[in-house]
Amino acid sequence: MKTEILVIGGTGKTGRRVVEQLQNKGIEPRVGSRNASPSFDWDQKDTWIHALAGIEQMYVTYYPDLAVPGAKKSIESLTYLAKELGVKKMVLLSGKGEAEAEACEKIVMDSGLDYTIVRASWFNQNWSESFFLDPILSGEVALPMSDVLIPFVDANDIAEVAATVLLNDSYNGKIIEVTGPELITFKEIINIISKTSNRNLNFYDITLEQYIEGMKKMQIPNDVVWLIEYLFSHVLTNPKNQQVATDIEDVLGRKATTFLEYAKKTAKTGIWSQVKIK
């Protein structure tokens, strides 16, 4: 089927899964990434026109997060250009409990485009495809706020919801909140990963200041350190982000994936068995 759909961030955690969901429906979307043809680069606005040419619907993820400085301006510019070029509908991936993300949502909502906002909690896949993976592989996991309850959500569920609302106009003008079906703590997560991967993981509850200092010693880029500190200090403890939503079940007609289900499936891939030598 001829593509009229653009997936920005089409090689990322949710984007590549949205691409797969659409392909399973017989739709070949255009992948919006630096290495695609035509390419899409958030930092190179001259790539946007070619990537958006002929597009009617688009799924948008902003890397690394809508909370970072510059995101709002980029979303504003992209939304304006999309409307000028004839895009009819935008599905924006947003974050629960993020004031900056909600400001980006408002830009899309006020644009005159058809839209659906998919507002997500923290991803399960952060433990297998992102910044929580290295500690798991080392066997030594040190995190702050270990008892905070979080409705971790599976990226596959997010992608299935995103693909559904992208193609179904009955969700136009709506905010869909995607969370897992339970509230779970970091301590409980490490216990689950230990059991499903047959690993003996050591968990240490540390302060946020110690965590930030540790990242700096590891020479993690400053913008990433800033984002992690923001997420822990402002988002993790936001009451809005400590609530379970039923929107996944409402949209897909099935229960959201539990963390245990994710962990069992992920453990079988062997990703957590690639133990790092200290």
The CA distance from 154 to 62, in Å, is 18
pLDDT at res. 245: 97
- Give the model's confidence band at 97: pLDDT under 50 very low, under 70 low, under 90 confident, else very high: confident
Q: Is residue 194 part of a domain?
A: no
The CA distance from 225 to 215, in Å, is 7
Q: Is residue 89 part of a domain?
A: yes
pLDDT at res. 131: 84
pLDDT at res. 101: 94
The CA distance from 132 to 134, in Å, is 6
pLDDT at res. 240: 80
Evaluate if residue 112 carries a pLDDT over 90.
yes
- Contact (Cβ atoms closer than 8 angstroms) between residue 63 and residue 12: yes
Give the whole-number percent of the chain exceeding pLDDT 70.
Answer: 97
Q: Is residue 131 part of a domain?
A: no
Q: What is the mean pLDDT of residues 26-53?
A: 96
The CA distance from 136 to 151, in Å, is 20
pLDDT per position as a tens digit, 84-93: 999 999 999 9
The CA distance from 87 to 269, in Å, is 39
Q: What is the mean pLDDT of residues 60-76?
A: 94
Q: What is the mean pLDDT of residues 110-135?
A: 95
**Containing domain of residue 65, as a range?**
5-121+154-179+243-256
The CA distance from 255 to 151, in Å, is 14
What total of structural domains would you count in the chain? 1
pTM more than 0.85: yes
Question: Which of these, 6, 223, 197, 241, lies nearest to 101 by C-alpha position?
Answer: 241
pLDDT at res. 274: 81
Q: What is the mean pLDDT of residues 52-65?
A: 96
Q: What is the mean pLDDT of residues 186-197?
A: 97
- Give the model's confidence band at 275: pLDDT under 50 very low, under 70 low, under 90 confident, else very high: low
Phi-psi region of 196 (alpha: psi -120 to 50; beta: other; left: phi over 0): alpha
Q: What is the mean pLDDT of residues 17-21?
A: 98
Q: Is residue 84 part of a domain?
A: yes
CATH number at residue 168: 3.40.50.720
pLDDT at res. 219: 87
- Give the model's confidence band at 224: pLDDT under 50 very low, under 70 low, under 90 confident, else very high: confident
22-28: long-range contacts, CB 8 A cutoff, minimum separation 24: 22/163, 22/166, 25/163, 25/167, 26/1, 27/1, 27/3, 28/1, 28/2, 28/3
pLDDT at res. 241: 83
Q: Is residue 278 part of a domain?
A: no
Q: Is residue 21 part of a domain?
A: yes
Burial class (CB in 10 A: 0-12, 13-18, 19+), 277: exposed
Q: Within 13 Å and on the Cβ side, how many CA atoms surround 83?
A: 14
Query: Which residues are registered as beta bridge partners of 123?
Result: 153
Type of residue at 110:
D
pLDDT at res. 277: 54
Residue of higher predicted confidence among 127 and 220: 127
Q: Is residue 104 part of a domain?
A: yes
Type of residue at 156:
N
Evaluate if residue 67 carries a pLDDT over 80.
yes
Give the whole-number percent of the chain exceeding pLDDT 90.
Answer: 86
Q: Is residue 236 part of a domain?
A: no
- Contact (Cβ atoms closer than 8 angstroms) between residue 242 and residue 149: yes
Evaluate if residue 11 carries a pLDDT over 70.
yes
Return the H-helix or E-strand segment holding 100: helix 99-109
The CA distance from 18 to 37, in Å, is 18
